[in-house]
Amino acid sequence: MFCEQCEQTASGQGCHQWGACGKSPEVNAVQDLLIYCLRSLAPVALKARNWGVPTGEADVFTCEALFATMTNVNFDRKRFSQYVRRTITLRDNLKAQVEQASNTPVEWSKLSCFEPDFNQSLVEQGMTNYKRGEQSWQSKE
Ligand code: SF4
**What is the set of domains in the chain, with CATH numbers?**
25-131 (1.20.1270.20)
DSSP SS3 for 106: coil
Distance, CA 22 to ligand 1 centroid (Å)? 8
Segment 62-77, tens digit of pLDDT: 999 999 998 877 899 9
Q: What is the dihedral of CA 61, 62, 63, 65, to 10 degrees?
A: 80
CA 84/CA 61 separation, integer angstroms: 11
Does residue 21 have its Cβ closer than 6 Å to ligand 1?
A: yes
pLDDT digits (tens, 9 = 90+) for 88-112: 999 999 999 999 999 888 999 999 9
* pLDDT at 117 exceeding the cut of 80: yes
Nearest atom of ligand 1 to the alpha carbon of 20: 7
Global pTM exceeds 0.85:
yes
The partner residues of 15 in beta bridges, in order of sequence, read: 3
Check whether 141 has a pLDDT greater than 60. Answer: no
The pLDDT of residue 68: 93
Q: How far apart are CA 19 and CA 1, in angstroms?
A: 9
24 lines ligand 1 (CB under 6 A): no
10 Å CB burial of residue 31 (0-12, 13-18, 19+) is: buried
Give the C-alpha separation, 89 to 47, whole Å. 16
**Alpha carbon 68 to chain centroid distance?**
12
The alpha carbon of residue 139 and the mean position of all alpha carbons in its chain are separated, in whole angstroms, by 16
Ligand 1: distance of its center to the CA of 28 in Å? 9
SS3 26: helix
85 burial (CB, 10 Å; 0-12 / 13-18 / 19+) is: middle
